[in-house]
């Protein structure tokens, strides 16, 4: 249902419609025309005054979890006011509506549940998925973020409790990238869960069963993807937080067939590459000259490694040479050829070496210039690990990207490296003081990538999202870190400027899409003005009153 379909809404129904409700901002004339007289206090307020009240409420909350709950209630009653608040200070609110607070939310999602948001497509809907999707009231969905809850923020398989992730991701499409919120749809693909504790929880809202065998799951996902093409033909499918093997398999299966991408694989890869590009500009070095050690060998590590290989090939290395510069470890030790538990994707990075589970020993052997953590093992980069990286490198690059528990904190990295580390984590740490030096740690979070990419896709309507476009997104971000910011050790632009950053990235990506014949709409004369004209702005629009009867 779009806004024109909602014009007949009046009275209390209007106040209960989060898309049209403006609460105390309804004018005296609107209240009379729309049957609202007597239903609101007499004072007519501006959107700015309403936002002031919201901020006072948020300031009074004792924890970010309580702030999240308050904001969730707000978006359920007044979407415009919700985005007015979020977009007023993204640096403050992104950590509340997304990571790290969202990790706590997802652990208790079924217990915190208030009212439905998005869609739940479960296994018992097999054969009817297109029919069910048509129950969504908006026909022109442009972004659908879908999860199975199989691998959420280092929490493992949390099934239907993972729904908080698609909701939060799509809110950032709007808050950080100005994608119109009515074009987005969060989806929980409920295939059951391996989490026995959840299945036994009387308040758990998902299917109380184990996930199906791979062949049955593949058929279910195939029906879902096909149904999305039928019901929402202009929609981009954003795969989010699927179990690692499923994430890799479905991205490979659909990336050249439908408009889709996997943010855990491609978004993480792109934002990591952007931070590395900036760090290497500070060092005056090339990507192709680095040696990378990943702690973690799942979908994020593999996706990032594959993107790094492509980027190093662009600098002149062969594929084999590029892959040889990437070493991985996981919970079972070094990824090397004698292991019998490796996937085909992991074997690409299994280089001849003696087996070991000792991270320090691996660092001594490999002598990496870049250490990347995607292990979900908080604290794994211990003091001896960081000190050894600093012994090997004048400016070690250390990216502990696990959320919500990174492998080391910013204070630890700077302290143990005598202030020489080039550091970015998956969560934002405050600035660190060491003597008279101020260090500003970066946050290698995907929200620097997917909102701008989403805005470009929304505007240009490409048929596919290619690996080259993901690399272009990384460079579009890195190029916005000024020389003066680099001199202060910053690897990413300030979060306070995130909307400007995302719009600038979207313009560059749109330019790339037009130049490479990937856009399916006519090229405008002024791309930036064209894209800015499509950007969502949290303002109250006109409501045409409809007479009763």
The catalytic site residues sit at 98, 169
Residue 222 in marked binding region = no
Residue 376 domain-assigned?
yes
* pLDDT one digit per residue (tens) for the chain, 549 residues: 444 444 578 999 999 999 999 999 999 999 999 999 999 999 999 999 999 999 999 999 999 999 999 999 999 999 999 999 999 999 899 989 988 898 899 999 999 999 999 999 999 999 999 999 999 999 999 999 999 999 877 788 999 999 999 999 999 999 999 999 999 999 999 999 999 999 999 999 999 999 999 999 999 999 999 999 999 999 999 999 998 789 999 999 999 999 999 998 999 999 999 999 999 999 999 999 999 999 999 989 999 999 999 999 999 999 999 999 999 999 999 999 999 999 999 999 999 999 999 999 999 999 999 999 999 889 999 999 999 999 999 999 999 999 888 999 999 999 999 999 999 999 889 999 888 888 999 999 999 999 999 999 999 999 999 999 999 999 999 999 999 999 888 999 998 899 999 999 999 999 999 999 999 999 999 999 999 999 999 999 877 655 444
Residue 536 domain-assigned?
yes
Residue 240 in marked binding region = yes
Long-range contacts of 514-521 (CB under 8 A, 24+ apart): 514/460, 516/468, 518/460, 518/462, 518/463, 518/464, 518/466, 518/469, 519/460, 519/461, 519/462, 520/460, 520/461, 520/462, 520/463, 521/459, 521/460, 521/461
Helices (H), 315-440: 319-324, 344-347, 359-366, 383-392, 410-416
Residue 1 domain-assigned?
no
Positive or negative CA dihedral for 536, 105, 156, 269?
A: positive
Residue 241 in marked binding region = yes
**Residue 521 maps to which CATH number?**
3.40.50.720
Give yes or no: residues 68 and 99 share one domain: no
| Predicted local distance difference test score (pLDDT) of residue 155 | 81
| Predicted local distance difference test score (pLDDT) of residue 244 | 79
Q: Dump pLDDT digits (tens) for 218-235.
A: 999 999 999 999 999 999
Residue where one domain finishes, among candidates 227, 262, 297 = 262
DSSP string, 441-490: -EE--GGGTHHHHHHHHHHH--S---HHHHHHHHHHHHTTS-HHHHHTT-
| Predicted local distance difference test score (pLDDT) of residue 152 | 78
Burial 397-425 (b: 16+ CB within 10 A, else e): bbbbbbbbbbbbbbbbbbbbbeebbbbbb
Residue 313 domain-assigned?
yes
| Predicted local distance difference test score (pLDDT) of residue 543 | 74
Q: Encoding tokens for residue 96?
A: 């509340």
Domain count, the chain: 3
Residue 30 in marked binding region = no
Residue 75 domain-assigned?
yes
Give yes or no: residues 361 and 490 share one domain: yes
| Predicted local distance difference test score (pLDDT) of residue 488 | 83
| Predicted local distance difference test score (pLDDT) of residue 226 | 98
Give yes or no: residues 281 and 249 share one domain: no
Residue where one domain finishes, among candidates 242, 262, 282 = 262
Give yes or no: residues 70 and 147 share one domain: no
Q: Encoding tokens for residue 522?
A: 């006519």
Give yes or no: residues 444 and 539 share one domain: yes
| Predicted local distance difference test score (pLDDT) of residue 5 | 47
Residue 83 domain-assigned?
yes
Residue 6 domain-assigned?
no
Q: Containing domain of residue 44, as a range?
A: 11-91
Give yes or no: residues 209 and 355 share one domain: no
Residue 5 domain-assigned?
no
Residue where one domain finishes, among candidates 262, 283, 316 = 262
Give yes or no: residues 352 and 428 share one domain: yes
Give yes or no: residues 289 and 253 share one domain: no
Give yes or no: residues 270 and 155 share one domain: no
Give yes or no: residues 20 and 130 share one domain: no
Q: Encoding tokens for residue 114?
A: 């208030």
Give yes or no: residues 345 and 324 share one domain: yes
**Residue 21 maps to which CATH number?**
1.20.1370.30
Give yes or no: residues 460 and 531 share one domain: yes
Model pTM score: 0.93
* Those residues with Cβ within 8 angstroms of residue 123's Cβ, 6 or more apart along the chain or in another chain: 190, 191, 192, 207, 209, 212, 220
| Predicted local distance difference test score (pLDDT) of residue 471 | 95
| Predicted local distance difference test score (pLDDT) of residue 544 | 63
Residue 445 in marked binding region = yes
Separation between Cα atoms, residue 275 and residue 480, nearest integer Å: 11
């Amino acid at each position: 249902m779009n806004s024109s379909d909602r014009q007949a809404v009046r009275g209390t129904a209007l106040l209960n419609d989060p898309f049209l409700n403006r609460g105390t901002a309804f004018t005296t004339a609107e209240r009379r025309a729309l049957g609202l007289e007597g239903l609101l206090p007499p004072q007519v307020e501006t959107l700015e005054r309403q936002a002031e009240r919201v901020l006072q409420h948020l300031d009074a909350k004792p924890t970010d979890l309580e702030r999240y709950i308050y904001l969730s209630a707000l978006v359920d009653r007044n979407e415009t006011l919700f985005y007015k608040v979020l977009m007023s200070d993204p640096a403050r609110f992104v950590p509340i509506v997304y990571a790290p607070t969202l990790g706590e939310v997802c652990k208790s999602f079924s217990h915190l549940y208030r009212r439905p948001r998005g869609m739940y497509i479960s296994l018992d809907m097999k054969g009817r998925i297109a029919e069910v999707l048509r129950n969504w009231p908006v026909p022109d969905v442009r972004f659908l973020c879908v999860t199975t809850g199989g691998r959420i923020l280092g929490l493992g398989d949390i099934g239907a409790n993972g729904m908080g992730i698609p909701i939060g991701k799509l809110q950032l499409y709007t808050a950080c990238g100005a994608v119109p919120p009515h074009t987005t749809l969060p989806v929980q693909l409920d295939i059951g869960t391996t989490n026995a504790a959840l299945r036994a929880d009387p308040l758990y809202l998902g299917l109380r069963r184990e996930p199906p065998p791979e062949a049955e799951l593949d058929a279910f996902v195939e029906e879902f993807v096909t149904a999305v093409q039928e019901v929402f033909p202009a929609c981009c499918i954003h795969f989010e937080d699927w179990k690692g093997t499923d994430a890799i398999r479905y991205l490979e299966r659909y990336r050249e067939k439908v408009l889709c991408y996997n943010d855990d694989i491609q978004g993480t890869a792109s934002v990591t590459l952007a931070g590395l590009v900036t760090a290497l500009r500070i060092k005056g070095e090339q990507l192709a000259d680095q040696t990378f050690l990943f702690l973690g060998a799942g979908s994020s590590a593999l996706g990032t490694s594959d993107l790094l290989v492509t980027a190093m090939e662009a600098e002149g290395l062969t594929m084999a040479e590029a892959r040889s510069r990437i070493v991985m470890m996981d919970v079972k030790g070094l990824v090397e050829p004698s292991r019998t538990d490796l996937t085909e994707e992991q074997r690409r990075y299994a280089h001849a070496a003696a087996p070991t589970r000792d991270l320090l020993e691996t660092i001594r052997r490999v002598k990496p210039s870049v250490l990347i953590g995607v292990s979900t093992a908080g604290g794994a980069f211990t003091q001896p690990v960081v000190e050894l990286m600093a012994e090997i490198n004048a400016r070690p690059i250390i990216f502990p990207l696990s959320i919500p528990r990174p492998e080391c904190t910013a204070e630890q990295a700077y302290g143990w490296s005598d202030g020489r580390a080039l550091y970015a984590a998956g969560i934002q740490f405050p600035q660190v003081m060491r003597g008279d030096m101020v260090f500003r740690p970066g946050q290698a979070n995907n929200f620097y990538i997917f909102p701008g990419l989403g805005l470009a896709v929304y505007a240009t309507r490409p048929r596919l999202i290619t690996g080259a476009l993901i690399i272009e997104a990384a460079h579009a971000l890195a190029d916005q870190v000024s020389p003066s910011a680099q001199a202060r050790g910053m690897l990413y632009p300030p979060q306070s400027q995130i909307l400007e950053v995302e719009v600038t990235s979207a313009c560059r990506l749109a330019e790339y899409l037009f130049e490479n014949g990937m856009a399916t709409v006519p090229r405008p004369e002024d791309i930036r003005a064209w894209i800015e004209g499509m950007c969502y702005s949290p303002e109250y629009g006109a409501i045409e009153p409809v007479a009763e009867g």
